[in-house]
Amino acid sequence: MKKVIVAMSGGVDSSLAAALMKDEGHDVTGITLKLFEDQEKYLEDASKMADYIGIDWYMADYSEDFKNNVISYFTNTYKQGRTPNPCAYCNRYSKFSYLISEMKRIGADMVVTGHYADTAELDGILHVRKADDPKKDQSYFLSLLTADQIKYLHFPHAHRTKTDVRKIAGEYGLQVSDKKDSQEVCFLEGGDYRDYLSKFVPLDYGKGNFILNGRIIGEHKGILNYTVGQRKGLGISYHEPLYVKYIDPHTCNIQLGSRENVFFKKIKAINCNFVKTPPDKIHCQSQNKVQNDRTKMHSGSQR
């Protein structure tokens, strides 16, 4: 038996994870992190599920640190003309740091979550790997976690499908067994990112020009309103569809291009989290976080 802390969002995945841990005979404590405003429904559902399962539960307020860390990263990245990845950033630098801190504070041995992911060792080093269900796999969002964080984690749904989870949750009598899945970015709550950004930065921040083939073809509303690869909503009349190719945060100009002009043969990867130091040339894959598809890439020199 271990003393475990289960991150509970009030949804079916985390609620079942807590029930399974208790069923295995562990000493289980549920925790819900308060990270932003308007989380009352999540807190209420998590508390009710903990009561039903018969485990202790509490809320830990990290909203101020979350604002200074994740929200700041989110807004500043858009101001720099780039598109942020708040979930992956949050999991490493905020959410799992908070959970592990709480785990140690109450004297628990392990952090359990309802993520669809798995862990494995590679040359003695722990890393996150894909769950069995490719449709629900969340390893992408956990990919920045370090081995020192991963050693405390357990994902009970690594080998289950969402259908399995809902079925088992129903057998346990969990009222959230058919609850709708939450949105990808929790603090946006399904809303438009620009509406959220407007709370911190005027949306006309960084107004400038649209540039096509070196010439100005119009003005844009501010760089916060656009992301690389965007086609719709540009407000530009042209004889063919145009896409955002590059956003310059210094001049605030946005370079546009036709479809064939926005594809590249090379990419520059930053903030990589390698399990071990890779060789000079590696075979790798990229994953589209929106469509959750994967495209093989040719091997090339690592820089």
164 and 221 belong to one structural domain: no
The rounded distance, in Å, linking the Cα atoms of 183 and 179 is 12
CATH number at residue 19: 3.40.50.620
Q: Which residues are catalytic?
A: 90, 186
Domain, as residue range, for 131: 3-188
Phi, psi of 34 (to 5 degrees): -90, 115
pLDDT in tens, 54-79: 999 999 999 999 999 999 999 999 99
Look up tokens 């392990």; give the residue.
Answer: 110
In whole angstroms, what is the distance from residue 294 CA to residue 58 CA? 39
Residue 128 and residue 46 share a domain: yes
CATH code of 221's domain: 2.30.30.280
Tell me which of 188, 222, 237 is where a domain ends: 188
pLDDT at 291 over 70: no
Short-list 35, 156, 153, CA closest to 90: 35
Does residue 194 belong to any structural domain of this protein? Answer: no
Please indicate, yes or no, whether residues 253 and 122 belong to a single structural domain of this protein: no
Record the tokens describing residue 172, joined without a space: 């346990």
| Average pLDDT, integer, range 8-24 | 97
Q: Are residues 42 and 183 in the same domain?
A: yes
Pair 17, 121 in one domain: yes
Tallying the residues shown for the chain, one arrives at 303
In a domain? residue 213: yes
Query: Could you give the number of structural domains in the chain?
Result: 2
Tokens of 209: 């020009």
pLDDT band at 246 (very low <50, low <70, confident <90, very high): very high
Per residue in 149-175, pLDDT (tens digit) is 999 999 999 999 999 999 999 999 999
The answer to the question of residue 297 being in a domain is no
